[in-house]
Chains A and B, each alone.
Chain A
Amino acid sequence: MSVRQEIAGFVSILRDSWIVAKKDLRVELRSKEILLTTAYFGFLVVLVFSFSFFYGDAPLHAVAAGILWVAVAFAGTLGLGRVFEREREGDCIRALLLTPIARPALFLGKALGVFVFMLVVEAVVVPALFFFFNLAITAERAGMLALVLLLGTIGYSVIGTLLASMLLRAQTKDVLLTIVLYPFILPLLILGVKATAALFDLTGELGVFSECVRLLVAFDVVFLVASLWTFEPILVD
């Protein structure tokens, strides 16, 4: 295969995955079923944790970074449980598999849908966190926070989508997904929390932050490649 064909194949995979993601997002935008419930759930998690970590008359600053990531991870699980649920309820998983697009494109499309969806949830969770924990942040650090969240969310949605599609046929999928997912995203949580904590500590230096970001990028790349490779044989019907 020539380089040009390789590029053309790559572009068509990206285009196809955008089509899959667009379909999911359009359905979601019309019903707003998962989006509203999950974002609301994320908000509630932040609230519950603020009550749980009261110290004196305000919640502890030190735990804010952890709570952010726990809220994102919990809310994300709700969304992940639904990745293939519409197709399953409508009994059209086979139809989805029969569409003339490459399997990697299908995977990327689903993961992209989860990714966008999680960003919306984060757009609710982060302000709630700043509000309840009375946090302050500089504009520069806010951008860095966005970067960490973005990288974490990429990894999360890739692994989550992969595991959700693996458990597609399981009866107790929702329970299984959570217990299978959390061990796999632990490195993401560790790195994300560490980087975020460094950002929230306005007096601290950011050496740890850049180290975490580099590792997050490596994690995302490794797991994206591994997932694309693993996804191929998963959905045999």
Chain B
Amino acid sequence: MPNAKEELFDTSRGLPVPWTLTGLSALVGILFPICIALVFFYAPLEKEMGYVQKIFYFHVPAAWIMLISAPVMAYSSIAFLWRRTDNWDRLNDAAVELAILFGVLVLISGPLWGRKAWGVYWVWDVRLTSSLVLVLTLVACKIVRAYAGPSAKQISAGLSVLAVCNAVFVYVSVDIWRGTHPEKVVNKSGGLAPGMRLAFWMCVLTFILGYVVMLWTRVRAGKLRTALDRLHMKAIEAGLED
């Protein structure tokens, strides 16, 4: 639903790309190959895990990004419910989508790690389970947004807050449910060799910058979408389309 009151941009001139976004994207484009090179050629091979340990350099940053996305979602949706400006809604939608994307990355790479480390693909570990439930509830948010009709924005804003609350509850309840959890003792980032440390933090930096680029681009895409919808309406009013 295009919000007629909102000031967008001059559609005849398009939405200019700010140089900061261009620069940031270029930086991520340069950093990403460097990360891969560091992970595979610089960081030493782990004794027990071998090459599978390389998953760690992408799994953990992806999980952190998913966690970063949660406060972004919560903040943007509360800001939207408060202010009712569409940009907050676009930010919320972008954060939800990226949390799903990185959550899926976590859920694919986690079991691959688990297979090598613990011999099974899936363990009912608190972090893995709450990530799964968070992704499921966020998918539910997207579904509701698609079908809820005129008040979809408010609804998905509310739901994404509930999804974050829910993930916290899942974390705590799985904690009780499992009783003892040996996985938690394995502090993954604790004993990193110096070579690994550099590769790891480079990956974290790249992922965070990449996240910012994607978030920004997604918000811009949402803006363009609104502009397109409005042009469509104008075209229909002018009798150019039906």
Interface residues on chain B, number (Cβ under 8 Å): 29
Asked whether any CB of chain B lies closer than 8 Å to the CB of A230, the reply is yes
Checking A180, A208, A226 against B140 with a beta-carbon cut-off of 8 angstroms, the contacting residue is A180
Bound together, the chains give a CA A211 to CA B173 distance in angstroms of 9
Asked whether any CB of chain B lies closer than 8 Å to the CB of A130, the reply is no
Bound together, the chains give a CA A235 to CA B163 distance in angstroms of 20
Checking A168, A172, A226 against B162 with a beta-carbon cut-off of 8 angstroms, the contacting residue is A226
Bound together, the chains give a CA A111 to CA B215 distance in angstroms of 37
Bound together, the chains give a CA A141 to CA B192 distance in angstroms of 50
Shortest beta-carbon distance, A73 to chain B, in Å? 15
Asked whether any CB of chain A lies closer than 8 Å to the CB of B117, the reply is no
Shortest beta-carbon distance, A157 to chain B, in Å? 15
Task: Output the nearest chain B residue to A212 by Cβ-Cβ distance.
Answer: B176
Q: Which one of A3-11, A113-121, A182-190 is at the B interface?
A: A182-190
Task: Output the nearest chain A residue to B135 by Cβ-Cβ distance.
Answer: A183
Assess the B151–A176 pair: CB atoms within 8 A: no
Chain B binding surface, main DSSP class = helix
Asked whether any CB of chain A lies closer than 8 Å to the CB of B8, the reply is no
Checking B81, B149, B166 against A187 with a beta-carbon cut-off of 8 angstroms, the contacting residue is B166
Q: Which one of A13-21, A48-56, A215-223 is at the B interface?
A: A215-223
Asked whether any CB of chain B lies closer than 8 Å to the CB of A204, the reply is no
Assess the B148–A194 pair: CB atoms within 8 A: no
Shortest beta-carbon distance, B63 to chain A, in Å? 19
Assess the B144–A167 pair: CB atoms within 8 A: yes
Assess the A215–B176 pair: CB atoms within 8 A: yes
Task: Output the nearest chain A residue to B171 by Cβ-Cβ distance.
Answer: A187
Asked whether any CB of chain B lies closer than 8 Å to the CB of A36, the reply is no
Bound together, the chains give a CA A234 to CA B144 distance in angstroms of 12
Cβ contacts under 8 Å, B193 to chain A: none
Assess the B144–A190 pair: CB atoms within 8 A: no
Assess the B133–A186 pair: CB atoms within 8 A: yes
Cβ contacts under 8 Å, B96 to chain A: none
User: A residues touching B (Cβ–Cβ < 8 Å)?
Assistant: 159, 163, 166-172, 176, 179-180, 182-184, 186-187, 190-191, 194, 208, 211-212, 215, 218-219, 222-223, 226-227, 229-230, 233-236
Closest 4 CB pairs of A and B: A230-B158, A183-B136, A169-B149, A170-B147
User: B residues touching A (Cβ–Cβ < 8 Å)?
Assistant: 81, 133, 136-137, 139-140, 143-144, 147-151, 154-155, 158-159, 161-163, 165-166, 169-170, 172-174, 176-177
